[in-house]
């Protein structure tokens, strides 16, 4: 039996990663609030979308440059999700457009 693909949703804080995760998962598994830092650890959900099974990972906001311990830990959790993933959804905020932080994350 073939392993299910793993898809990680990554991006800077408050771009809608957990909202997208919940929408794809079809349930409110991830906490969604209008403040950075609600998601700190990786959040996993087995999903089926158009008859395709996969594992989806929600991640905390990725801050490429920070000295705050909690943000460093969140970045480490996101890096682990990226290593696990077969596919990465890089989510950005359309209202803000492409930011310098988005460009740094993409690197």
Question: What is the pLDDT at residue 105?
Answer: 86
Q: What is the pLDDT along the chain (107 residues), one digit of tens a residue?
A: 668 999 999 998 888 888 899 999 886 665 555 555 555 568 899 999 899 999 999 998 888 777 888 878 888 888 999 999 999 999 999 999 899 989 988 88
Contacts of residue 2, Cβ cutoff 8 Å, sequence gap at least 6: none
Residue 1 is predicted with a pLDDT of 60
Compute the distance between CA of residue 101 and CA of residue 104 in angstroms, rounded to an integer: 5
Tokens of 23: 């929408």
pLDDT at 33: 54
Q: What angle do CA 24, 79, 88 make, to 5 degrees?
A: 35
The domain defined by 9-99 folds into: Rossmann fold (3.40.50)
Report the pLDDT value the prediction gives residue 28, as an integer from 0 to 100. Answer: 67
Q: What is the pTM of this model?
A: 0.83
Element (H, E) at 58: strand 52-58
């Amino acid at each position: 039996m073939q392993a299910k693909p793993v898809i990680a949703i990554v991006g800077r804080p408050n771009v809608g990663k957990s909202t997208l995760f919940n929408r794809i998962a079809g349930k409110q598994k991830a906490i969604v609030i209008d403040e950075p830092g609600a998601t700190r650890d990786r959040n996993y959900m087995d999903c089926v979308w158009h008859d395709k099974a996969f594992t989806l990972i929600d991640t905390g906001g990725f801050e490429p440059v920070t000295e705050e311990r909690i943000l460093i830990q969140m970045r480490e959790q996101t890096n682990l999700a990226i290593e696990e993933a077969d596919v990465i959804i890089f989510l950005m905020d359309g209202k803000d457009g492409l930011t310098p932080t988005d460009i740094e994350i993409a690197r």
